[in-house]
């Protein structure tokens, strides 16, 4: 008898999805990946990879051709501050991502999938709790009254509720995590959709010792960043648990963006001047609150930011060299 569990990863051509496929393969799953595109930086580890558009109902019906043991819904129209906070992509972000989630919940129930993971975001938290860079509030129960600072955050909040309503009304087994700035190798590092850790690593790698890099804003805004391996660990632990969430998966090591740049410089062994320029920023302060995850999963991320930055910098430095 074949006891191999099967998993479907939506967004398997993306950063977290690509890494998740590798992890599930190592754990012995049979994995199907779906995405608009193949993974950019490494061949997929999936047993079956379908290039398809999850906004399309026929595609979604076709990929859900069996009652998958586990489905991971990571596909979304997203990017860093340069993509989310300019306002130029609001309609696409809301429409594309909502349509994917509407299809996955509806056809997931029809296909009798056993369990589904949904990746929400720290961007759902109200802007009014994140004005003070030293004291942001991001406990799970502070999500309401809702006031996300971007349409991306509003769509995530809508989709959290969509998944939870399918749980209530149709018995769909749902697990929801709110990711806080996940980073690592094989993530977008250039082109406008990259996030702060990758952007800092790239700028520092491209600049000579004694040179200058540009940074959006005064660099005093705070964030925490979680290395990909701990994110995957959190996802898997949540899926194995009885707890549905939503729960934060993030680091509690809060730094300013200036400090993030300094970490990249220290790793590179370079002294570089930062020139602050106007640009899209997001909230003033944000940090993960890990009380709930600690309580429910008896685990929380604990690795230092610097460790993950070393691995990410080394990978981006190589991309910069290869691109020359
Ligand atoms: P990513 O952009 O690398 O991956 C998302 C993938 O979804 C992309 O490969 C994209 O091609 C695919 N996709 C988009 N529209 C699609 C469609 N219509 N059909 C099929 N595939 C489609 O992003 P990521 O960093 O890997 O993030 C994964 C998930 O986690 C997303 O839902 C994101 O919103 C969420 N999240 C990520 C972070 C983070 O810091 N990376 C933080 C919070 C939440």
To which CATH superfamily is domain 186-224+253-286+303-318 assigned? UDP-galactose 4-epimerase, domain 1 (3.90.25.10)
Structure tokens at 168: 């209530």
Closest residue to atom 8 of ligand 1, CA basis = 14
Cα dist from 75 to 8, 98, 182, whole Å: 12, 10, 15
Q: What is the pTM of this model?
A: 0.96
Per run of 10 residues, the mean pLDDT along the chain (length 324 residues) is 83 98 98 97 96 98 98 93 86 97 98 98 95 93 97 98 98 98 95 90 96 94 96 98 98 97 97 92 91 98 97 97 90
Q: Is 72 left (phi over 0), alpha (psi -120 to 50) or beta?
A: beta
- In this prediction, residue 301 carries a pLDDT of 97
Closest-lying ligand 1 atom to the alpha carbon of residue 56: 18
Q: How many angstroms separate the CA atoms of 225 and 229, rounded?
A: 12
Q: How remote is the CA of residue 78 from the centroid of ligand 1, in Å?
A: 6
- In this prediction, residue 3 carries a pLDDT of 64
Closest residue to atom 1 of ligand 1, CA basis = 14
Helix, strand or coil, per DSSP, at residue 240: helix
Q: Which of 33, 40, 159 is nearest to 101 (CA)?
A: 159
Q: Is 152 one of the catalytic residues?
A: yes
Q: How remote is the CA of residue 18 from the centroid of ligand 1, in Å?
A: 10
Closest-lying ligand 1 atom to the alpha carbon of residue 100: 18
Q: Which of 151, 159, 157 is nearest to 54 (CA)?
A: 159
The pocket around ligand 1, CB under 6 angstroms, is made up of: 11, 13-17, 35-37, 53-55, 74-78, 96, 100, 119, 121, 179, 181-182
For the chain, the distance separating the N- and C-terminal CA atoms, rounded to the nearest angstrom, is 52
- In this prediction, residue 1 carries a pLDDT of 41
- In this prediction, residue 89 carries a pLDDT of 94
Q: How remote is the CA of residue 230 from the centroid of ligand 1, in Å?
A: 17
To which CATH superfamily is domain 6-182+226-249 assigned? NAD(P)-binding Rossmann-like Domain (3.40.50.720)
Q: How remote is the CA of residue 20 from the centroid of ligand 1, in Å?
A: 12
Mutate to test the pocket of ligand 1, among 8, 10, 16 (most ligand atoms within 8 A of CB): 16
> Where in the sequence of the chain do the CATH 3.40.50.720 domains occur?
6-182+226-249
Structure tokens at 118: 């949904």
> Where in the sequence of the chain do the CATH 3.90.25.10 domains occur?
186-224+253-286+303-318
């Amino acid at each position: 008898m074949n006891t191999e569990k099967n998993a479907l990863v939506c967004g398997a051509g993306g950063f977290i999805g690509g890494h998740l496929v590798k992890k599930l393969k190592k754990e012995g799953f049979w994995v199907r990946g779906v995405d608009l595109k193949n993974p950019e930086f490494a061949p997929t580890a999936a047993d079956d990879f379908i290039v398809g558009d999850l906004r399309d109902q026929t595609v979604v019906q076709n990929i859900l051709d069996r009652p998958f043991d586990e489905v991971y819904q990571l596909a979304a129209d997203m990017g860093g501050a340069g993509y989310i906070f300019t306002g130029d992509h609001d309609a696409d972000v809301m429409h594309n991502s909502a349509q994917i989630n509407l299809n996955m919940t509806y056809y997931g129930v029809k296909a009798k999938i056993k369990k589904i993971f949904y990746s929400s975001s720290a961007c759902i938290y109200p802007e009014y709790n994140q004005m003070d860079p030293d004291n942001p509030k991001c406990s799970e129960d502070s999500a309401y009254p809702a006031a996300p600072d971007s349409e991306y955050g509003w769509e995530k909040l809508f989709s959290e509720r969509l998944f939870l309503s399918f749980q209530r009304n149709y018995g769909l087994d749902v697990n929801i995590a709110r990711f806080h700035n996940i980073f690592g190798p094989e993530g977008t590092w250039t082109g406008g959709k990259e996030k702060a850790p990758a952007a800092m690593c790239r700028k520092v790698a491209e600049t000579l010792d004694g040179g200058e890099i540009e940074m959006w804003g005064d660099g005093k805004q705070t964030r925490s960043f979680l290395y990909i391996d701990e994110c995957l660990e959190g996802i898997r632990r949540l899926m194995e648990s009885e707890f549905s969430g939503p729960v934060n998966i993030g680091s509690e090591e809060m730094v300013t963006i200036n400090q993030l740049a300094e970490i990249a410089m220290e790793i590179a062994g370079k002294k570089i001047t930062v020139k602050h320029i106007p640009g899209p920023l997001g909230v003033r302060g944000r940090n993960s609150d890990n009380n709930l995850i600690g309580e429910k999963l008896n685990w929380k991320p604990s690795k230092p930011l610097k460790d993950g930055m070393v691995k990410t910098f080394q990978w981006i430095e190589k991309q910069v060299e290869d691109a020359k």
